[in-house]
Amino acid sequence: MKIFFLLLLIFSCSKIKRSEVPGPEQKENLVTGLRNADAYSPDIDVVVAFLWPRRITGPHQRPAMEKVIATSRKLTKEKERYLTDKKKLKDAWAAQKCPCVLDGVCDGTETELNEEACIELEDAFSKNDQSLVTFYQYVEDVKAAVKESGGEWMDTSLEFKELPFSKLFLDQGKLRLEAFDSYVVNGKPQPIAYDIEPVSVIQEDGYQRLAASFPRLVSTPEGLQEKGIFTIKADIKATESTLTFQGELTWSYDGYEQLGVIYWENPRK
């Protein structure tokens, strides 16, 4: 289920079946017992989600789907590197008492202050933030390849940057997605938001996964209407810098399942 490590699907003139989607190649850092969930921010910076094409109709789809898989691996590694480096910089910032050194926010316990070190850390923060350009380019590459393959891309905060963060409240069993797909009003895309509950942490195959189901909203001449059910079942990966959720997004309707992918991260506070 660790979907950003999917291998190639079977390319034939048929529906994509769950049995054609291999499981993860490795399970490093997957959670067996979720602890200290409150150490992570509820804010979700970026959600990447899409549905694979309904049918594989021929070899012309293969290059695009291969690109989705290969680029998704790069995307997740780049974001994890960024968040790991950011966590190290935040720890060094606190250790050097930089809020006191540069901003005058002191608590009276400071002894030795190193302005040069804090200025270097400021530069390092800036360079690390600039590296996000690579991550966002990978996201755009995945988006283009999904559409080229005949799949369906879910518009999220990446397309609606003015929106507040989506949020996950594990302790309350709630997930708020500020944008998850879109529809058009007077020629302008509008986000579709969801308040999802309950959101559960379930045990499967010895690991814990996040699970949630909710009606999908689609645009009709009468407005937004429910059509089928979205189901999320995502592996939970914990590191020192982030809690990562990545797994299956499934759309079920009229007795048919369309498989897909969902990924997001909640950084450590």
Place of tokens 């498989």: 259
For CA atoms 201, 203, 207, 213, the dihedral sign is negative
For position 23, what pLDDT does the model report? 42
pLDDT at residue 187 is higher than 60: yes
pTM of the full structure: 0.83
Q: Is the pLDDT of residue 21 over 50?
A: no
pLDDT (0 to 100) of residue 13: 38
Beta carbons within 8 Å of 236's beta carbon, 6+ residues apart: 30, 31, 34, 201, 207, 208, 209, 210, 243, 244, 245
pLDDT band at 3, cuts 50/70/90?
very low
Q: How many domains is the chain built from?
A: 1
pLDDT in tens, 56-88: 777 778 788 888 888 988 998 899 899 999 999
Residue 161 has pLDDT above 60, yes or no: yes
pLDDT at site 94: 92
Beta bridge partners of 256: 253
Q: How many other C-beta atoms are found inside a 10 Å radius of the C-beta of residue 156? A: 24
Average pLDDT over residues 104-132: 90
Measured CA to CA in angstroms, residue 38 lies from 41, 102, 111, 165, 227 at distances of: 7, 29, 31, 17, 34
Q: Residues 119, 121, 123, CA angle at the centre, nearest 5°?
A: 75
Answer yes or no: are the C-beta atoms of 145 and 64 closer than 8 Å: yes
Q: What is the pLDDT of residue 39?
A: 84
Q: Residue 162: pLDDT above 70?
A: yes
Which range marks the domain in which residue 250 is found?
Answer: 3-267
pLDDT at 17: 54
- Which pLDDT value is given to residue 32? 54
pLDDT (mean) for 179-190: 94
